[in-house]
Amino acid sequence: MNRLVSALALFALALPARAAEPPAPPVTIDLGRRQATATPSRVGFTHTGAGNIDVQQPSPDTVVITMTGVAVAGGHPCQDSVAALTFDLLQDFEVTFAGKDVKKAKLTLEARVIGLLRSHAKGGGAASITCPAEAVVAPCGVPGAPALVAVALPGRSVAAGENLSVNDREGPVGVPVAAGKYTLHQRFGVQASHPRKLCCKAASAEFAPDPALDPLWISAFEPFHGAAKKDFGFQVILRVAADQ
């Protein structure tokens, strides 16, 4: 009997300790209705890729929204070429006070956009971020209500052989808020264009991880060979915390 008890004791000691679950934050974000679209448009010798809108909530007080897309335009012998991909998201959410002692909260936004813009001197193409990379939070269900907090990143463009690696960041910017319902409006867009021409290199706006852009569209003298692309795209992080 003593041997059995000793064996059970040793077995219990060998079991891994169960990690204590972290306490719930005093202020949380509850996601509601969402309307999100990624709209491609193509004319001529063009390509678009990705078009993803990814909404994640890694913790009860944080939401991460990432938009990824690619637009490429090459020379066409009979017409101009234009490729574009535009994103638009409306995400309703509610700020909830879980702790009885919480009287107010702070809502913060931060954003970053990472990607590549390419053009070629002999081709005449151009590439750009066309729709502003921006996110705005306003009260939900109040038409014309002013923004409570917003982030915006600068427009970028290349032409005439220019190439640009983009890694822009803005925020965090914050504002005190009460418990209640709000709406996040996020927009982004990329475009590549090329005048009518025969046999020339394409222009591209690449803001999505592989394999959104087929390597066949990239020049053999790729200026960004070996670039790490796993974080490409326009990402917004929405957070809420108790404001003491």
Structural contact between residues 200 and 124, judged by C-beta atoms closer than 8 angstroms: yes
Beta bridge partners of 128: 157, 191
182 is written with which tokens?
């709000």
Which residue type is seen at 57? Q
Question: Which pLDDT score, from 0 to 100, does residue 218 have?
Answer: 85
Q: What is the pLDDT of residue 103?
A: 81
Half-sphere exposure of 207 (CA within 13 A, CB side): 35
User: What are the E-state strand segments in 77-162?
Assistant: 81-97, 105-118, 126-129, 133-139, 149-153, 157-159
Check residue 104 and give its pLDDT.
Answer: 87
Q: What would the two tokens of residue 88 be?
A: 């638009």
* Residue-level pLDDT at 201: 82
Distance of alpha carbon 24 from the chain centroid? 26
Cβ count near 110 (within 10 Å): 17
CB contact at 8 A, 240 and 28: yes
Mean pLDDT by 10 residues, the chain (244 residues): 49 53 82 97 94 97 98 88 96 89 90 95 86 92 85 93 95 94 97 84 94 87 90 98 82
Residue with tokens 């702070």: 106
Beta-ladder partners of 176: 106
Contact 224, 166 (CB under 8 A): no
Distance CA 98, CA 79 (A): 59
- Spell out the domain ranges in the chain: 25-242
DSSP assignment of 179-230: SEEEEEEEEEEEEEEE-S-SS-PPEEEEES-TTSS-GGGS-TT-TTTT---T
